[in-house]
Chain A
Amino acid sequence: MQRLILAALLIALFTLPFTFASSVTIATLIFAKALAVLGIFVLLQAGQVSFGHGMFFAAGAYAAAYFGVVWRAPDLLVLTVAVIAISGVSGLIIGLFVSRYRLIFFSMLNLAFSMVLFALLEKLFHYTGGTDGMRIRRPSLMGYTFSRSDFDMAMFYYALILMVLCTGLVWLYLRSPLGQALKAVKVNETRLEYIGLSANHTLLVAYVFSAVLAGLGGLAFGLVQGLATPDLTFWTRSGEFVFIAVLGGIGSVFGVFAGTAVYEIVRFYAAALLDDSWQLILGITLIAVILTVPSGLIGLPARLRAAFGGARTNGKDKA
Chain B
Amino acid sequence: MTTTLALIALLDGISYASLLFLVAVGLTLIFGVLGVLNVAHGSLYAIGAYMAATLGGWLTAQGYNPWLTFPALMAAAILTGVVVGGLMERFLLRQIYEKDPTLQLLITFAVFMVLENVQRMVWGVQPYFMSEPLRALGNIELLGIRYTAYQIVFLPVMAILTMVGLRYFLRHTLAGAKIVAVTEDREAATSIGIDARKVYFVTFVIGACLAAMGGALATPTTSVLPGMGANMIVLSFAVAATAGLGNIEGALLAALLIGVARSFAVYIMPETEVLMPYLIMVLILLWRPMGLFGAVQARKI
Chain A residues within CB distance 8 Å of chain B? 44, 47-49, 51, 97, 100-105, 107-108, 111-113, 115-116, 119-120, 123-124, 189, 235-236, 239, 242, 246, 276-280, 282-284, 286-287, 290-291, 294
Residues of the A chain whose Cβ atoms lie less than 8 Å from the Cβ of B238: 112
Chain A proximity mask over B237-264: 1 for CB below 8 Å, otherwise 0:
1100100010000000000000000000
Contact of A119 (CB < 8 Å), options: B274, B286, B299: B274
CB distance A287 to B111 under 8 Å?
yes
Residues of the A chain whose Cβ atoms lie less than 8 Å from the Cβ of B142: none
CB distance B282 to A97 under 8 Å?
yes
Chain A proximity mask over B102-114: 1 for CB below 8 Å, otherwise 0:
1101110111111
The minimal Cβ–Cβ distance linking A251 to chain B, given in whole angstroms, is 14
The CA-CA distance from A102 to B113 in the complex, in Å, is 23
Residues of the B chain whose Cβ atoms lie less than 8 Å from the Cβ of A44: 102
| B129 beta carbon closer than 8 Å to chain A | no
Among A44, A107, A236, A277, max chain B CB count under 10 A is at A107
CB distance B274 to A105 under 8 Å?
no
Contact of B103 (CB < 8 Å), options: A189, A239, A278, A290: A290
CB distance A103 to B113 under 8 Å?
no
CB distance B114 to A123 under 8 Å?
no
CB distance B107 to A290 under 8 Å?
yes
The minimal Cβ–Cβ distance linking B266 to chain A, given in whole angstroms, is 12
| B289 beta carbon closer than 8 Å to chain A | yes
CB distance B234 to A108 under 8 Å?
yes
Contact of A112 (CB < 8 Å), options: B100, B110, B237: B237
One of B115-123, B130-138, B212-220 contacting the partner: B115-123
| B231 beta carbon closer than 8 Å to chain A | yes
Besides A246-B106, A283-B110, 15 other CB < 8 A contacts?
Answer: A49-B105, A51-B39, A104-B245, A115-B274, A115-B278, A119-B275, A123-B274, A189-B299, A242-B109, A276-B117, A279-B117, A280-B121, A283-B111, A286-B110, A291-B95
The CA-CA distance from A246 to B278 in the complex, in Å, is 28
Main secondary structure of the interface of B (DSSP, over half): helix
CB distance A120 to B116 under 8 Å?
no
CB distance B275 to A242 under 8 Å?
no
Contact of A279 (CB < 8 Å), options: B31, B102, B114: B114
Residues of the B chain whose Cβ atoms lie less than 8 Å from the Cβ of A280: 113-114, 117-118, 121
CB distance B271 to A124 under 8 Å?
yes
The minimal Cβ–Cβ distance linking A313 to chain B, given in whole angstroms, is 22
Residues of the B chain whose Cβ atoms lie less than 8 Å from the Cβ of A294: 103
| B92 beta carbon closer than 8 Å to chain A | yes
The minimal Cβ–Cβ distance linking B55 to chain A, given in whole angstroms, is 24
Which chain A residue lies CB-closest to B120?
A276
Residues of the A chain whose Cβ atoms lie less than 8 Å from the Cβ of B286: 97
With A112-B237, A283-B110 given, is the CB distance from A104 to B101 under 8 Å?
yes
The CA-CA distance from A301 to B289 in the complex, in Å, is 43
Residues of the A chain whose Cβ atoms lie less than 8 Å from the Cβ of B96: 291
| B37 beta carbon closer than 8 Å to chain A | yes
The CA-CA distance from A276 to B120 in the complex, in Å, is 8
Among A100, A119, A279, A283, max chain B CB count under 10 A is at A283
CB distance B114 to A283 under 8 Å?
yes
CB distance B100 to A47 under 8 Å?
yes
Contact of B121 (CB < 8 Å), options: A103, A113, A242, A277: A277
Q: Which residues of B59-106 are within 8 A (CB) of A?
A: 92, 95-96, 100-103, 105-106
Chain A proximity mask over B266-289: 1 for CB below 8 Å, otherwise 0:
000001001100100110011001
Residues of the B chain whose Cβ atoms lie less than 8 Å from the Cβ of A113: 278
Which chain A residue lies CB-closest to B103?
A290
List 22 A-B pairs, Cβ < 8 Å.
A47-B100, A47-B102, A48-B102, A49-B105, A49-B106, A97-B285, A102-B299, A102-B301, A103-B105, A104-B301, A108-B237, A115-B274, A116-B278, A120-B274, A123-B271, A236-B113, A279-B114, A280-B114, A283-B110, A283-B117, A284-B114, A287-B114
With A239-B109, A287-B111 given, is the CB distance from A278 to B102 under 8 Å?
no
The minimal Cβ–Cβ distance linking A263 to chain B, given in whole angstroms, is 14
Residues of the B chain whose Cβ atoms lie less than 8 Å from the Cβ of A51: 39, 109
The CA-CA distance from A246 to B299 in the complex, in Å, is 25
| B230 beta carbon closer than 8 Å to chain A | yes
The CA-CA distance from A49 to B108 in the complex, in Å, is 13
The CA-CA distance from A104 to B300 in the complex, in Å, is 9
